[in-house]
Structure 1
Amino acid sequence: MNVMQYKIKLPKEYGMEKIRERVANNGVKTDGFLDLLMKVYLIREESKEYAPLYLWKSEKGMNHFIFDGYYDNILSSFGWRQINIAIPLIVEVNQKVKASHWVLEIEKDIKEVTKMKAPEFSITPKDALGKLLVYNPDKWKQVEFYFFKEKSKELECFGSFYEVLHIST
């Protein structure tokens, strides 16, 4: 299993309705994509960010997406982008996440230690529809994703909320 995400910071004058329209017209194209467990089309309106999140069953589907023409749509629309790759550690997602309208992302450094211990979720929200914890030992980062139907003001202090435009499975 692999997770990938690219974050596209758009100019402050960029109309986010363009991204909404893009996803409305094309989001279903990744439904049933080879080896894709889930693609979550995410935006942050206030910071003008488009940040699709992918959970892959294997590298075969991810490689197909990146190298067989599909990622070219990102290149032609937004230019060269770094793709963040991570290893899933805890995956608690099922069909309930399809009802999500918001995703809370919490990013943390993994501190240097003399004895390794697996990262854990840092919060336990009762109303989460699903959650995902990934890590990247190349950067020593962990990222937690929590899926919600409603945006919670009290959880905003932990990370960044993204609006969900579409979820492909």
Structure 2
Amino acid sequence: MHAMQYEITLPADYDLGIIRKRVADKGHLLDAHPGLGLKAYLVRERGRDGSPVNQYAPFYLWRTVEGMNSFLWGPGFRGLSADFGRPSVRHWLGAGLAHGAVPDAPATSTSTSTSTVTVATPATTATRHTVRLPESDDPAEAVERAIAEFPTHPALHTAAVAVDPSRWELVRFALWRGPAPDDVPGIRYQVLHLSCPELDRLPGGRHW
């Protein structure tokens, strides 16, 4: 598993409706992308959840390197770069994953005279917390601790731990159904769309 994110910081008076429409029009294009565990189309809105900026910041969990490469060298990333300029792409090696207790549980159900229709609960918010590992820390122990501390909140959709060994930076990423719990640290995002074609093929637990 590989984690990846790029951040496009937008002007303070930028109309985020432009990003929302972009995601509404194009988000489905990765719903079946080979090798993609998930892509969370994330935004931060200035003045909301403590954000000082407007930002479009998609986060990816890749199941295969081939899938990641086909996106980065393909038309999707080219189009984004043409519209916003080519962003720096942050990359972490996946260390562990936790699926929510019931990933595809229905949120509600409505009954008609002939049938019952279930409506799945989507992930609507996300958190990302990054920390530098001091030289005095054993990185293997730090990763083990982070995996052992995976949240068990009933609103959890997916959580991942990954590491950038070039900077010894550890990232904890989580998707939530509804508002993220107050005691979860890190940057908070809104989820505009979630593509997860191969999320069920990413194993839970540690990845080594």
**TM superposition score normalised by structure 1:** 0.90
Match of 1:129 among 126, 150, 157: 157
The one-letter code matched in structure 1 to 2:26 is N
Shift of 1:93: 3.1
Query: Structure 1: which 5+ residue stretches go unaligned?
Result: none
Supply the AA of the counterpart residue of 2:191: V
Q: How far off is 1:67 after superposition?
A: 1.1
Match of 1:89 among 72, 88, 95: 95
Superposed CA deviations along residues 5-58 of structure 1, whole A, max 9, x for unmatched, are 101111111111111100001000001112111111000112201111111111
Query: Which residue number corresponds to residue 2 of structure 1?
Result: 2
Distance in 2 (alpha carbons) for counterparts of 1:90 and 1:43: 24
**Residue segments in structure 2 that go unaligned for 5+ positions in a row:** 47-52, 105-120, 197-208
Q: Which structure 1 residue ranges, 4+ long, deviate > 4 Å from structure 2? A: none
Deviation string, structure 1 residues 86-124 (Cα, Å, up to 9, x no partner)? 111111136827721011111111111374424233573
Q: Which amino acid aligns with 1:78?
A: F
Residues 4 and 59 in structure 2, CA contact (< 8 A), matched pair in contact too: yes
**Quick check: 1:91–1:131 contact (8 Å CA) kept in 2?**
yes
Match of 1:113 among 129, 132, 136: 136
Alpha-carbon offset, residue 153 of structure 1: 6.2
- For residue 37 of structure 1, what is the aligned residue in structure 2? 37
Of residues 179, 183, 206 in structure 2, which corresponds to 1:151?
Answer: 179
Structure-2 separation of matches of 1:142 and 1:111: 11
2:127 maps to 1:99: no
Counterpart for residue 165 of structure 1: 192
Distance 1:96 1:153, change over 3 A: closer
TM-score computed with the length of structure 2 as normaliser: 0.74
> Aligned letter for 2:33?
F
Larger radius of gyration: 2
> What's the offset of the Cα at 1:146?
1.8
- More displaced, 125-134 or 25-34? 125-134
State yes or no: 1:76 paired with 2:85.
no
Kindly provide the amino acid, as one letter, of the partner of residue 163 in structure 1. Answer: Q
One-letter code aligned to 2:30 = T
Percent of paired sites with the same residue = 27
